Every structure is written in structure tokens, then in C-alpha cells.
Structure 1
Amino acid sequence: MPQLNPAPWFFIMLTSWLTFSFILQPKILLFISTNSPSNKTHSTMKTSPWNWPWT
């Protein structure tokens, strides 16, 4: 069965994974996010129960 032969695709998969892991990933992680998290305090919403007309 030819699909069990790893020779044609294994080297391509391995090189692309290593390229991403060692070259591209550190460069991507150096980018600074434009929407940095702020130190705002989260306020809780005051909710009131719904008054159902049939109860």
C-alpha cells in the first residue's frame, strides 16, 4: 500500500515542523500585541430576577 510509505512526505513534514519551531515561532512571539491587556478592575453587573407573569 503506497500510503504507508513515509518516504515522500515525512521529510517535508519534518523540515516544515523544524522550520516553524526554530525559525518562525521565535520571530512571531517577538511581535507586540496592539491590544495589550489593561489593569482595569472588572465591575460585576447587578442583575435582578425576571418576574414571570404566570408564577
Structure 2
Amino acid sequence: MPQLNPNPWFFIMLTSWLTLSLIIQPKLLSFITMNPPSNKTPTAPKTTPWTWPWT
């Protein structure tokens, strides 16, 4: 059963994982977010009850 032989697939998985974690991930994490989180406390919107015309 050739699909149980991990010889070629393990090397491919290992190289792709190392490429992702050592080359691509630091480049992606170096970007500055355009929408940084703010320290403002969220305010609840003031809602008024709806008056139904048929009641």
C-alpha cells in the first residue's frame, strides 16, 4: 500500500511547514494593522420601545 509509505509525503509536509513558519509567517506578522484596537469602552445604544399600532 503506497499511501502508507511516509517517505516522500513526510518530507513535503515538513518542508512546507518550515517554509510557512520560518519565511512566510514573519513577513505576514510584520505588517501593521490598519485598524488597531481602541481603548474606548463600548456604549450601549439607547433604544425606545416600539408602540404597535394594533395594540
TM-score, normalisation: structure 1: 0.70
> Percent of counterpart pairs with the same letter?
71
2:31 matches 1:31: yes
In the other structure, the counterpart of 1:2 is 2
> Could you tell me how far apart the structure 1 residues matched to 2:46 and 2:34 are?
32
Once the two structures are superposed, residues 17-37 of structure 1 have per-residue CA deviations (whole angstroms, 9 ceiling, x without a partner) of 011111111111111111111
Q: CA RMSD in A?
A: 2.2
Extract unaligned runs of 5+ from structure 2: 49-55
SS of residue paired to 2:24: helix
In the other structure, the counterpart of 1:52 is none
Count of residues in Structure 1 that have an aligned counterpart in Structure 2: 54
Extract unaligned runs of 5+ from structure 1: 49-55
Aligned counterparts, 1:36-47, within 5 A: 36-45=36-45
> Could you tell me how far apart the structure 2 residues matched to 1:3 and 1:47 are?
61
